[in-house]
Amino acid sequence: MKTPRLFLQLCVLLGIGGIAFLLTGCREYPNDYISKYCPGSCTVIKGRVSTNNGSVPVAGATLRVQVDTYTEYGSGIRNKAIATTDANGNYELRFLMRDDELQIGVYHILTDLDPNQYISCQPLDFIPASSLARDTVIINNYTVAPSASINLQLVNEELMQPDERLYATFKYKLVPADTDSCTFVLDVRQAYLQNILALPANSPIAVRLEKTKAGVTTTEKDVLALQPGEERLYEITF
């Protein structure tokens, strides 16, 4: 049976202390989908998945609740609930929080949406057990946008001196009414700059370039508008 990718990543993370812990510290529990039969005790996470600034539902998307538990003896992963969005983009995930998950669990909401087609601020939701309870309903609405990308090219990188800096900030909102923006800050000198950066289509993207050159800091601003599936060359001159 193929081990889920996230399970492998977790084992590598927790296995830093040694090979023995890497091999024995991570356990994959059986699926616990039967826990949805929990009248009077269910934890319910429900909401809507939409795109185009929240106006168009995303139907047929699969969402899954997974819980990670951590103890002094190691860690474990258990799938708790699974649901598919209906024609209106609505979903409902129902599950019972087991005794061992109530205090030491971290819940993730995973999706099968193709990142080459859709983009959001964060790929996963992390919900600590301390913020959940039995017999509780939580509303989580997710807005995604059609995916596009830019190909970042620094034109004259060889001219940058060791003490000079270049920061590129990309900021956007998936829903105009959102109070917070999705923000990515890339530092060229720290090698965080990626050649291909995924960004949303059909939403204005504010770009801010901050350059420190010869002890003087300057800023430049730009606004991008991308089409779904577009990959645009974006050149930055230091």
C-alpha torsion sign, points 35, 38, 43, 49: positive
Q: Look at residues 143, 177, 193 and tell me which one is the last residue of a structural domain.
A: 143
Rg (CA), the chain: 22
Residue 115: which CATH number?
2.60.40.10
Domain that includes residue 64, residue range: 5-143
Distance between CA atoms of 84 and 173, rounded to whole angstroms?
Answer: 25
- Buried-state track 154-191, b at ≥16 Cβ within 10 A, e below 16: beeeeebeeebbbbbebebbbeeeeeeebebebebeee
CA angle 178, 224, 179 (to 5 degrees): 10
Please check whether residues 90 and 168 belong to one and the same domain: no
**pLDDT for res 57:** 95
Handedness of CA 107, 97, 77, 3 (dihedral sign): negative
Judgement on whether residues 124 and 96 belong to the same structural domain of the protein = yes
Residues 57 and 106 in one domain: yes
pLDDT tens-place values along the chain, 238 residues long: 332 222 222 222 222 222 222 233 445 556 888 878 887 789 999 999 999 888 899 999 999 999 887 666 667 788 999 999 999 999 999 999 988 888 778 888 888 888 888 888 765 567 777 788 889 899 988 889 999 999 888 888 778 888 888 899 999 988 877 777 888 888 866 544 557 888 999 889 999 999 998 899 999 999 999 999 999 999 888 8
DSSP letter (8 states) at residue 30? P
Residues 110 and 98 in one domain: yes
* Number of domains the chain contains: 2
Last residue of a domain, one of 95, 128, 143: 143
Name 172's bridge partners: 182
What is the structure's pLDDT at 124? 56
Q: What is the pTM of this model?
A: 0.71
- Listed in sequence order, the residues at least 6 apart from 104 whose beta carbon sits closer than 8 Å to its beta carbon are 69, 70, 71, 129
Which pLDDT belongs to residue 222? 96
Q: Are 142 and 120 in contact (CB under 8 A)?
A: yes
Residues 31 and 131 in one domain: yes
Of 105, 122, 143, at which residue does a domain stop? 143
Question: What CATH number is given to the structural domain containing 155?
Answer: 2.60.40
Q: Specify whether 70 is located in the same domain as 172.
A: no
